[in-house]
Amino acid sequence: MADDQKPKTKLLDELEKGPWPSFVKEIKQAGEKSPVCDDLLGQLELSYEEKKGHWKHGGIVGVLGYGGGVIGRYSDLPDKFPNVAHFHTMRVNQPAGWFYTSDAIRTLCDIWERHGSGLTNMHGSTGDIIFLGTKTSELEPAFKELTEAGFDLGGSGSAMRTPSCCVGPARCEWSCYDTLKTCDDLTRQYQDEMHRPPFPYKFKIKCSGCPNDCVASIARADLSIIGTWKDDIRQDDAAVAQYARAGLDIRKDVCDRCPTRCMEWDGQKLAINNRECVHCMHCINVMPKALRPGQERGATLLIGSKAPIVQGALLSSVLVPFVPENELMDTLKELIRRIWEFWDEYGNNRERVGELIQRVGMANFLDAIGLDPAPEMVAAPRDNPYIFFQKEEAAAEPEPAGA
């Protein structure tokens, strides 16, 4: 395509200015090799002019034998922008922790230049490598090259999504379990559930190595795996003193910001009442050289977070307070099996597992998946007296131990 044929993008050109890297530049750059990008720019400029999108609603496309991993997308102005008449994206499983070699990056680039727009998202919100925009006929060839290079598609529709994880033990001193291994194992374990949508709706898993939750698992995953420890915070008194000497106001900046105020600093010695510590990470974050998570490590499993549609956004809530690291994979597999079984049977169409739990009640959900109720699961016990006593129990209640 000759230069003078390039679309006029008066509005978008504005977004090439300014210090932050420009996505318009990226599209134009890719456009140097791919005519697709010119039509994308043209349509986008029109959207900017008209203040509305120009994509048609969905459309089911995919690769052979897979029900997910491709998002079908069609322009609503195919005559005007024929090169984006089809403009599907491919979701590709990212390597755990988003680690790459330059070669791997180049391989991906080559494939996508051959079979798509040359535009990517590194990465999508769920964590996948996003290959942004291609036509239906290129899906299968792109897929073939991807798998040959050792890559595979992620999920879409009512399927498992590619799990994601924080950098964890690869580069973080606080990781309480192996997030990369867990994420990778889970991704491999559930390839089938990812590629052949078997569920009432989507299912996401995210793995954070500690309660800082650097992959936002508690807000964005149906199953959130957050590393934690059970024993005492490891404390290096000399290093604490050094922070104090260096000017850190330990009382104000550490003790007073501890959510349970379980720390005391008398100017000399830091005393932590570890029984009352809620493992929030704050003190460790502030004094990484002096404090470290304990050594009895593992993870808390939480269930059910999601975005607002339909009944309001949810945060994940505690399902298993602590699983030791060495039992983590087995526990996860067993638990996931039971959760899916229950969700399969009782979940409504487009009902996330968190919504299902809200609907049937946590206690019934626990029953169904064979877990005992534990006070760690609730912020507080119920405050309304509307208790559904189980039939068999009324009239034959033993006196509780504490009474």
Partner 1 sequence: MSAQAAKRITDIGPPHYDKFLHPVIKKNYGKWVYHETLAPGVLCHVAESGDRIYTVRAGSPRLLSVQTLRRFADLADKYCGGHLRFTSRNNVEFLLDNKEKIEALKKELNELGFPVGGTNNAISNIVHTQGWVHCHSSATDASGIVKAVMDVLYDRFTHEDLPAKLRVALACCLNMCGAVHCSDIAILGIHRRPPKIQHDVLSKVCELPTLISSCPTGAIRTKTVDGKQSVEVVEEQCMYCGNCYTVCPAMPMNDPENDGISIWVGGKVSNARSAPKFSKLAIPYLPNNPPRWPEVVRAVVNIVDVYAKNAKKFERLGEWIDRIGWPRFFELTGIPFTRYHIDDFKHAGLSYARSAHIRF
- Using CB under 8 A as the binding rule, whether residue 383 contacts its own copies is answered as yes
Alpha helices in 246-321 (DSSP H): 282-286
| Shortest distance (Å) from residue 75 CB to partner 1 | 10
Cα gap 388→160, rounded to integer Å: 34
What are φ and ψ of residue 265, in 5° steps?
Answer: -125, 120
Among the listed residues 73, 115, 135, 297, the single contact to ligand SRM using CB under 6 A: 73
| Shortest distance (Å) from residue 399 CB to ligand SRM | 28
- Which residues on neighbouring strands pair with residue 306, listed in sequence order? 314
- Which residues on neighbouring strands pair with residue 86, listed in sequence order? 74
| Shortest distance (Å) from residue 280 CB to its own copies | 17
Cα gap 191→188, rounded to integer Å: 5
Binding string, 135-164, against ligand SRM, x = CB under 6 A?
A: -------------------x----------
Judged by beta carbon distances under 5 to 8 A according to partner kind, the member of ligand SF4, its own copies, partner 1, none in contact with residue 263 is ligand SF4
Cα gap 135→140, rounded to integer Å: 10
Residues 6+ apart with CB under 8 A from 251: 265
The CA–CA distances, whole Å, from 164 to 31, 33, 93, 219 equal 31, 32, 9, 13
Q: Which positions from 321 through 340 interact with its own copies, judged by CB under 8 A?
A: none
Among the listed residues 385, 398, 400, 402, the single contact to its own copies using CB under 8 A: 385
**Could you count the other beta carbons within 10 Å of the beta carbon of residue 317?**
18
- Using CB under 6 A as the binding rule, whether residue 45 contacts ligand SF4 is answered as no
Q: At what angle do helices 179-189 and 328-346 cross, to 10 degrees?
A: 40
Tell me which stretch binds ligand SF4 (CB under 6 A): 129-137, 181-189, 272-280, 353-361.
Answer: 272-280
Q: What's the gap between Cα 138 and its chain centre? A: 28
SS3 state at 137: helix
Buried b (16+ CB within 10 A) or exposed e, 302-313: bbbbbeeeeeee
Q: Which positions from 186 through 245 interact with partner 1, judged by CB under 8 A?
A: 187-188, 191-192, 195, 211-216, 218-220, 226, 228, 230-231
- Using CB under 6 A as the binding rule, whether residue 279 contacts ligand SF4 is answered as yes
Among the listed residues 104, 239, 262, 329, the single contact to ligand SF4 using CB under 6 A: 262
User: Which residues of the shown chain bind ligand SRM in the complex (CB under 6 A)?
Assistant: 58, 71, 73, 89, 91, 121, 123-128, 130, 154, 166-167, 172-174, 202, 204, 212-214, 216, 220, 285, 306-307, 309, 352
Q: Site residues (CB under 6 A) for ligand SF4?
A: 166-168, 172, 174-175, 208-210, 212-214, 258-260, 262-263, 272, 277-284
Residues forming contacts to its own copies in the complex (CB under 8 A) are 256, 261, 308, 312-313, 383-386
